[in-house]
């Protein structure tokens, strides 16, 4: 059974039209992450939550926002998608143990921007 | 900050042969090194990991080695099978400084039957 679930699997939006991607987890993990992965590249961390504490990466554009209303859910909001934002977006969770930070990934949402 | 370099970017082997993927990291404070496998259309999944107090770890056909002095770690897959074909990512993280994991650029492994 999937433990980190991302919806939708495929999302098409128009240039400049806000879009929200969702992630839910059944693992009760403290930490939730959002990564952007472009073709043939490594996942790039956008931000993560430790419980309700939000941690933004320094190079994450302001266009990307996140919400975590409760332990199970986390959302990625792209306020004004540009063509360069077309990518796979991966959600991941971890327990939050400092010594061994195993991350559990969802299947991803592939975003297309027209 | 931490940087992880991974080689090769593409690797093609014959079924039954071994495959080796190598990574180097820059921050000597990193102490946890996971390897993830990403199949087409799926998210990465952990396949093996190693902590800095261990030099080698093996799990059936896969093994990971770590050289802390040289800041190198490698993934070894023996007796490769077509289902091993995927993209493999190495990564490095540290116990302090939050929960950030830095990924290598990935190696696309093709196992030819």
pLDDT digits (tens, 9 = 90+) for A4-39: 999 999 999 999 999 999 999 999 999 999 999 998
Alpha carbon of residue A79 to chain centroid: 14
Mean pLDDT of A52-72: 95
CB contact under 8 A, B99 and A99: no
The beta-carbon neighbor of B99 closest among A101, A107, A108 is A101
Mean pLDDT of A74-81: 97
Q: Is the peptide bond before B112 cis (omega within 30 degrees of 0)?
A: no
How many Å lie between the alpha carbon of A75 and the closest alpha carbon of chain B?
17
Helix (H, G, I), strand (E, B) or coil at B92: strand
* pLDDT for the residue numbered B42: 87
CA distance to A16, B14, B110, per residue, from B10 (Å): 36, 14, 8
> Which of the four pLDDT bands, split at 50, 70 and 90, describes residue A104?
very high
Using a CB–CB cut-off of 8 Å, the residues of A that contact B are 4, 6, 31, 33, 40-43, 45, 48, 50, 55, 90, 92, 94, 96, 98-108
| Ranges under pLDDT 50 in chain B | none
B70 vs A98, which has greater pLDDT? B70
CB contact under 8 A, A94 and B96: no
> Which of the four pLDDT bands, split at 50, 70 and 90, describes residue A100?
confident
How many Å lie between the alpha carbon of B56 and the closest alpha carbon of chain A?
16
CA distance to A13, A46, B36, B51, B112, per residue, from B48 (Å): 37, 24, 7, 11, 23
* pLDDT for the residue numbered A99: 66
Contacts of A55 (CB under 8 A, 6+ apart): A47, A48, A49, B98
Helix (H, G, I), strand (E, B) or coil at A62: coil
Give alpha helix (H) positions in chain B. Answer: none
Which residues on B lie below 8 Å from A41 (Cβ)?
105-106
Helix (H, G, I), strand (E, B) or coil at A58: coil
Give alpha helix (H) positions in B33-105. Answer: none
Which residues on A lie below 8 Å from B105 (Cβ)?
41-42
CB contact under 8 A, B32 and A99: yes
Which residues on A lie below 8 Å from B43 (Cβ)?
4, 6, 90, 92, 105-108
Using a CB–CB cut-off of 8 Å, the residues of B that contact A are 9, 31-32, 34, 36, 41-46, 49, 51, 89, 93, 95-96, 98-101, 103-106, 108
Residue from B10, B93, B83, B97 nearest B42 by CA: B83
* pLDDT for the residue numbered B98: 62
| B50: phi then psi, degrees, rounded to nearest 5 | -145, 140
* pLDDT for the residue numbered A98: 60
Q: Residue A106 and residue A25: Cα distance in Å, rounded?
A: 9
Contacts of A21 (CB under 8 A, 6+ apart): A6, A7, A8, A11, A75, A76, A78, A89, A91, A109, A111
């Amino acid at each position: 059974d999937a433990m980190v679930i991302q919806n939708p699997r495929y999302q098409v939006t128009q240039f400049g039209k806000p879009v929200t991607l969702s992630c839910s987890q059944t693992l009760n993990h403290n930490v939730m992450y959002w990564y952007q992965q472009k073709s043939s590249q490594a996942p790039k961390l956008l931000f993560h939550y430790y419980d309700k504490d939000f941690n933004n990466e320094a190079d994450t554009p302001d266009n990307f926002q996140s919400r975590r209303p409760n332990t199970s859910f986390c959302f990625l909001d792209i306020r004004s998608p540009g063509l360069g934002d077309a990518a796979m977006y991966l959600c991941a969770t971890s327990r939050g143990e400092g010594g061994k930070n195993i991350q559990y990934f969802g299947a991803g949402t592939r975003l297309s921007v027209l | 900050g931490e940087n992880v370099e991974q080689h090769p970017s593409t690797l093609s082997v014959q079924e039954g042969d071994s495959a080796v993927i190598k990574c180097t990291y820059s921050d000597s404070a990193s102490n946890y090194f996971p390897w993830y496998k990403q199949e087409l259309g799926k998210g990465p999944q952990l396949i093996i990991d190693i902590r800095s107090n261990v030099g080698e770890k093996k799990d059936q056909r896969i093994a990971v080695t770590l050289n802390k002095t040289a800041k190198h770690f490698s993934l070894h897959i023996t007796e490769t099978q077509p289902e091993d074909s995927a993209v493999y990512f190495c990564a490095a993280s540290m116990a302090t400084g939050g929960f950030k994991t830095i990924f290598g650029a990935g190696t696309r492994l093709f196992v030819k039957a």
